[in-house]
Structure 1
Amino acid sequence: MTIKELTTVAEFEAGDRLQRRVWRIDRGSTPVPAEVLNTVSHSGGYVAGAFTCDSLVGISAALVGWDTDVRRIYLLEHILAAEYRDAGIGNALKADQRSWCRARGIDSVRWTFDPLVSRNAYIALAKLGADVLGYVPDFYGPMDDGVNLCDESDRLLVTWPLDRSHDQEQTDRSGDAEHDFHEWRPLLSIDERGRPTMHPCADDVRMTCAVPADIEAVRQQDPVLARSWRRAVRECLFGVLDSGGRIAGFTRRGQYLLTPGGKQA
């Protein structure tokens, strides 16, 4: 696999076609059409592709943003699409993204992901060690592609600090080894039929919030169940963050680790 910046119209068009395949879009525009990829690239943003045997199999597009509170620039990733799961494409693009930022004096990357997609939560919070900045309900409005199936587009906004040491970057931050799960109480769990089950919790305990292993399959098989998961996870995560708590990590078991306001993991 090779990673390189996309610079030509033909490459941008290939990126548009890749997005159609990944998100199963038959008609209408892609999240970042070819002409917008061109614009992002020529305005100084990051547009890169992963290639195997000269075929484009992954793409990432990001804008350079400005944080007015701390007066620093950051990279805001809008899309990262990979043709194949578990092939290392996303990891390779993230590594290139990090190198691109460091060469330009940018020390953090931000992006959003669907909190119901467990693999994205694990990569962001456990593998990369990103920090959650907030929960945004219905960030994009309803999405009618073949993956989201008109589900509400709730998103977690995260930031990935790039100033950690190499050892810290290589550490799995899932929390499975560090945390005694007898001390964590379920706030949201999965019952025997795959449904979300809420549990009462005291305000001062550490909690877990489970999500389905494959929400995309749930959307295909049972849209009503998928919507119930959206509402339940929104209530848990948004509620904890809104009360001053934090999302401390994500486990291999598919659970968010939640701490109440003022309490550290």
Structure 2
Amino acid sequence: MERVQQLEKAIWNMKPIPIHHTLTAVKNGGIMIGAFHGENMVGFSYGFAGFHNGQSYLCSHMLGILEDFRSHGIGAMLKEAQRQAAIEKGYKMVTWTYDPLESANAFLNLTKLKAICSTYIENCYGDMEDPLNRGLASDRFQVEWWIQSPHINENDTDDWTAYKRIPYELTVDGEPIPLEVDASFFNDQEAVLVPIPRHFQQLKKEHFELALDWRIKTRHIFQALFTQGFAAMKLIKMNDEPVHYYVLKRRTTLRLESEDTK
């Protein structure tokens, strides 16, 4: 737990969670997993037990990896180890939050892990002062990872190019500009593609007002889609556009655990 505290400081430059809290959580249904390079811990995941509407689940609260060890698949390995540990404890669902405009997180969570999202939380953690979050509302997707569902093992073979895309424009510098659409845009659609910037942190650093525009407009789009019964279930990376695309489908078409366990 002391090593985890050291990683929290190194990764987020924030005050770490007290050991008496993490230790108690792990002794009561929580899960803490470390990733090691030799004797050194370079990443970790931490989750604690949750309970809602008569059903238990695992709240995956933190996943962090030292900068020099990112982009090597460690995050996916930590999540798979967490999934196996959660199944052993009897959990059917794991939930966590992430910024919907962070495309790397979206690709890991939805495309690789096969989590889904139909819950949007405005300013989830209030004003945050760490470098990744400073200056913008801490909006979050709250994902659901149905770790024992058929959806986890299904291969998505749909032709996503046929789905209706929400359009965007370009600045004179080639940066993407989000466009608002009326709720009728989604009528009679079984699937929709929603664009987000490929490199949101870079956009935020170089064009803050444009990053803010993406935050507000995508907030409205996702909230409208979730209200109409859609769920984000995949992120498609584009090599020839300044955006990537979320794929959203009707939640009722996904083979998840029964809805009474949501």
- Please list the CA deviations of residues 171-197 of structure 1 after superposition, one character each: whole Å capped at 9, or x if unmatched: 6x6x5x52241x322224352323223
- Do the aligned partners of 1:188 and 1:236 also contact (CA within 8 Å) in 2? no
Q: How many residues align?
A: 242
Query: For 1:97 and 1:164, how far apart are their aligned partners in 2?
Result: 16
1:194 matched to 2:179: no
Segments of 5+ residues of structure 2 without an aligned counterpart are 239-243, 255-262
Map 1:43-54 → 2, pairs under 5 A = 43-54=28-39
222 and 17 in structure 1: CA distance in 2 versus 1, 3 angstrom threshold: farther
Q: Is 1:184 the counterpart of 2:155 in the alignment?
A: no
d(CA) in 2 for partners of 1:116, 1:260: 21
Matched, 1:18 2:11: no
* Displacement of 1:146: 1.4
Q: Structure 1 residues 190, 212: CA separation in 2 closer, same or farther (over 3 Å shift)?
A: farther
Cα 1:95–1:261 shift into 2, 3 Å: closer
Match of 1:203 among 152, 172, 187: 187
Of residues 203, 221, 225, the one that matches 2:210 is 225
Match of 1:100 in 2: 85
Structure 1 residue 213, shift from structure 2 partner: 1.3
Give the conservation status (yes or no) of the 8 Å contact 2:99–2:138: yes
Tell which deviates more after alignment, 39-48 or 121-130: 39-48
Q: Which residue of 2 aligns with 1:256?
A: 246
Matches within 5 A, 1:1-265: 12-23=1-12, 25=13, 29-30=15-16, 32-68=17-53, 71-83=54-66, 84-164=69-149, 169=152, 177-181=157-161, 183-189=162-168, 191=170, 192-199=174-181, 201=185, 203-205=187-189, 206-253=191-238, 254-259=244-249
Distance change in 2, residues 1:118/1:103 (3 Å): same
TM-score (norm 1): 0.81
Asked if 2 retains the 8 angstrom alpha-carbon contact of 1:204 and 1:260, the reply is no
CA RMSD of aligned residues (A): 2.6
Inter-partner Cα distance in structure 2 for 1:244 and 1:95: 28
Structure number with the bigger relative contact order (C-alpha 8 A, sep ≥ 6) is: 2
Q: TM-score if structure 2 supplies the norm length?
A: 0.81
How far apart, CA to CA, are the structure 1 residues paired with 2:166 and 2:250?
12
The answer to whether the 8 Å contact 1:188/1:208 transfers is no
Structure 1 residues 190 and 91: CA distance shift in structure 2, 3 A: farther
Instruction: Quote the Cα distance in structure 2 between the aligned partners of 1:19 and 1:219.
Output: 24
Q: For the residues of structure 2 that align with 1:263 and 1:256, how far apart are their CA atoms?
A: 17
Kindly state the Cα deviation for residue 135 of structure 1 after the two structures are TM-superposed: 0.8
Q: Which amino acid aligns with 2:188?
A: D
1:184 and 1:169 map into 2 onto residues whose CA distance is: 22
Partner secondary structure for residue 146 of structure 1: coil
Distance in 2, matches of 1:142 and 1:13, equals 27
Structure 2: distance between partners of 1:73 and 1:43: 12
Cα displacement (A) at 1:169: 4.7
Contact 1:148–1:216, Cα closer than 8 Å, also in 2: no
Deviations 1:117-157 (A, max 9, x none): 11111122111111214111111111110111232111111
